[in-house]
């Protein structure tokens, strides 16, 4: 039986490729340290499980395609606590950051169009853009200068009439690069001047181990608010990867209206996990302090070892 060109051309996820090799090695008694996929082993906070236990619905129904109202309210509250002025209509709940990124690419790109991404980048960005038939145009960055962005002129040289967006993870997976205020502003400026979307993927926002560095979100770029799309997820923040809950956040209401069509097509995100995450988001900001210390200690051991 024939399959589509899309199915043939799509590559197996690079982060998953090592899995059968690791399983095989373990079968032979080899101790394997799985560094290929970001699966935290920190216990998921008790609030998550409490959220599940407190569900008293008689029917596990479809949730609203936009996301459970209670969860959206909590997202808005959490962002407001952190100093971001967003409202309910700026939030859509998705099945993890992965679906948020897939819908975003589908909503932005036509076949053959281009997305600029600082390289090295999270390997699944390739799959998300391929879903939309789009192509990644890498913005080269180098370890020698701490993965800093090239100049405005260099970035602009990569823009063609097919370019639709700039996508970057901040802090960056895999480099750990934390983009400076000037760098985020530069990307916002380029996005506005060239009518591009600026997609900030920020699932590691809470994990900055150097106190002299600060995270600048795309949401801080008020002048580019129609261009900005923020991708967020509870997977890493709360060690809740299996919950599969993420968010698209944007003040561009027209864009959100288009993405809602995709959300409606897949009907809803699982209801039980949405209740659990709504309760999880009650966790105070201090939660991250303790977790950050654990990750920092681990980071230091690896870096010193290397």
Ligand X SMILES: Cc1ncc(COP(=O)(O)O)c(C=O)c1O
283 close to 47: Cβ distance less than 8 angstroms: yes
Part in contact with ligand X (CB under 6 A); list of ranges 21-29, 44-52, 93-101, 136-144 = 93-101
CB of 68 or CB of 101, closer to ligand X: 101
Binding mask 51-90 for ligand X (x = CB under 6 A): ----------------------------------------
Q: How do 246-249 and 197-201 pair as beta strands?
A: unpaired
Q: Is 254 exposed, middle or buried (0-12, 13-18, 19+ CB in 10 A)?
A: exposed
Binding mask 29-48 for ligand X (x = CB under 6 A): ---------x----------
Sole binder of ligand X in the list 241, 260, 272, 283 (CB under 6 A): 241
Sole binder of ligand X in the list 179, 246, 248, 269 (CB under 6 A): 246
Helix (H), strand (E) at residue 140:
strand 135-140
Least distance from ligand X to the Cβ atom of residue 60, Å: 22
CB of 159 or CB of 283, closer to ligand X: 283
Part in contact with ligand X (CB under 6 A); list of ranges 62-70, 96-104, 218-226, 278-286 = 96-104
Q: Give the sheet arrangement for strand 197-201, strand by strand.
A: 91-94, 246-249, 228-233, 197-201, 163-169, 114-119, 135-140
For ligand X, the binding residues in 106-145 under the rule CB under 6 A are 122
Q: CA–CA distance from 145 to each of 105, 148, 149 (Å)?
A: 30, 6, 9
Binding mask 178-207 for ligand X (x = CB under 6 A): -----------------------x-x----
C-alpha–C-alpha distance, residues 269 and 68, integer Å: 9
β partners of residue 293: none
- By CB under 6 A, is residue 273 in contact with ligand X? no
3: left (phi over 0), alpha (psi -120 to 50) or beta: beta
Which residues would be at the binding site for ligand X (CB under 6 A)?
Answer: 38, 96-98, 122, 169, 173, 201, 203, 233, 235, 241, 246
């Amino acid at each position: 039986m024939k399959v589509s060109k899309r199915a043939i051309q799509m590559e197996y996820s690079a982060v998953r490729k090592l899995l059968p090799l690791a399983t095989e090695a373990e079968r032979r008694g080899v101790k394997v340290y799985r560094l290929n996929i970001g699966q935290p082993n920190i216990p998921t906070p008790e609030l998550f499980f409490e959220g599940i236990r407190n569900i008293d619905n008689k029917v596990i129904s479809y949730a609203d395609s936009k996301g459970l109202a209670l969860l959206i309210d909590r997202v808005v509250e959490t962002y407001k606590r952190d100093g971001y002025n967003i409202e309910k209509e700026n939030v859509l709940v998705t099945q993890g950051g992965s679906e948020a990124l897939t819908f975003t690419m589908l909503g932005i790109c036509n076949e053959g169009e281009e997305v600029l991404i600082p390289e090295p980048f999270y390997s699944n960005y390739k799959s998300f853009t391929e879903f939309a038939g789009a192509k990644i145009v890498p913005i080269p960055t180098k370890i020698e200068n701490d993965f800093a962005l090239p100049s405005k002129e260099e970035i602009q040289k990569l823009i063609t009439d097919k370019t639709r967006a700039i996508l970057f993870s901040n802090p960056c997976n895999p480099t750990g690069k934390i983009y400076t205020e000037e760098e985020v502003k530069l990307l916002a400026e380029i996005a506005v001047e060239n009518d591009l979307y600026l997609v900030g993927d920020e699932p590691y926002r809470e994990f900055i181990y150097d106190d002299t560095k600060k995270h600048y979100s795309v949401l801080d770029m008020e002048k580019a608010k129609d261009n900005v799309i923020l991708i967020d997820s509870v997977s890493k923040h709360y060690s809740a990867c299996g919950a599969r809950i993420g968010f698209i956040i944007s003040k561009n209401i027209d864009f959100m209206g288009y993405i809602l069509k995709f959300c409606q097509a897949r009907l809803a995100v699982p209801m039980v996990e949405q209740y659990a995450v709504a309760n999880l988001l009650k966790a105070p900001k201090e939660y991250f302090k303790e977790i950050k210390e654990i990750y920092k200690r681990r980071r230091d051991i690896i870096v010193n070892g290397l």
